[in-house]
Chains A and B, each alone.
Chain A
Amino acid sequence: GQNIDQPTEMTATEGAIVQINCTYQTSGFNGLFWYQQHAGEAPTFLSYNVLDGLEEKGRFSSFLSRSKGYSYLLLKELQMKDSASYLCALMDSNYQLIWGAGTKLIIKP
């Protein structure tokens, strides 16, 4: 089966950097996604990693290590609008998404 773990909640300061980790166990792997979800809204796509390494997109970067079953989302120059839940999702061998419970990120001034 599959299992995905990410912290329930994190707090960071405006302007700082925060790293949200995601570990997973799976028998089939077709990539790992990060989505952002503001309260009361649907998720929006942030990143997709299928090969090991770091993918950078502006203030957001995502890293994947398939051998370690590990990914992280790195957010730089934090802004108040970055307060949201960040969902890690694994694409399994059937190309379906298996969702983590999400990490609620709280940004303080």
Chain B
Amino acid sequence: GAVVSQHPSRVICKSGTSVKIECRSLDFQATTMFWYRQFPKQSLMLMATSNEGSKATYEQGVEKDKFLINHASLTLSTLTVTSAHPEDSSFYICSARDQGQGDWETQYFGPGTRLLVL
């Protein structure tokens, strides 16, 4: 089945530093990947849609200069949280669609990255 990995799984950083999170589709090519953020006891909030070879599409209220997204290949998208602050502490999850399959609509999720900014 479609497998998505994320790295790192957990990161602790100091306020003001930048953190990069990688999302990889391991056994399929993904022209589109999605980045979500989830605060405790809340549902998933879509941050942006990452398109291979073009600029990401950000949701309203998400600062594109703070959350840099690069989708450089069909199997890799990265999210960089720049100048992280404690309020950016959250669970960041990526997902991808296996558009080579009949059920291309289904999003498969990476295991998530738990970010703690001190």
Contact = CB atoms under 8 A, between A and B. Distances in A.
Interface of A: 30-31, 33, 35, 40-45, 48, 50, 87, 91, 95-97, 99-102
Give the interface SS of chain A, mostly helix, strand, loop or mixed. loop
Interface residues of B, number: 19
A1 to B, nearest CB: 13
Nearest to A6: B43
A41 B109 CA distance: 10
Interface of B: 34, 42-46, 49, 91, 93, 103, 105-112, 114
Given A87-B44, A97-B46, A99-B44, A44 B105 contact: no
A101 B44 CA distance: 8
Given A48-B103, A97-B107, A42 B46 contact: no
Given A44-B109, A50-B105, A96-B49, 14 more contacts: A31-B105, A33-B106, A42-B110, A42-B111, A45-B107, A48-B103, A48-B105, A87-B43, A87-B44, A91-B105, A97-B46, A97-B107, A99-B46, A100-B43
B111 A48 contact: no
A87 B43 CA distance: 8
A102 B43 contact: yes
Contacts of B114: 40
Contact of B43 (A33, A95, A99): A99
A35 B46 CA distance: 15
A4 B99 CA distance: 26
12 contacts: A30-B105, A31-B105, A33-B107, A41-B111, A42-B110, A45-B108, A48-B106, A87-B43, A95-B105, A96-B49, A97-B34, A97-B107
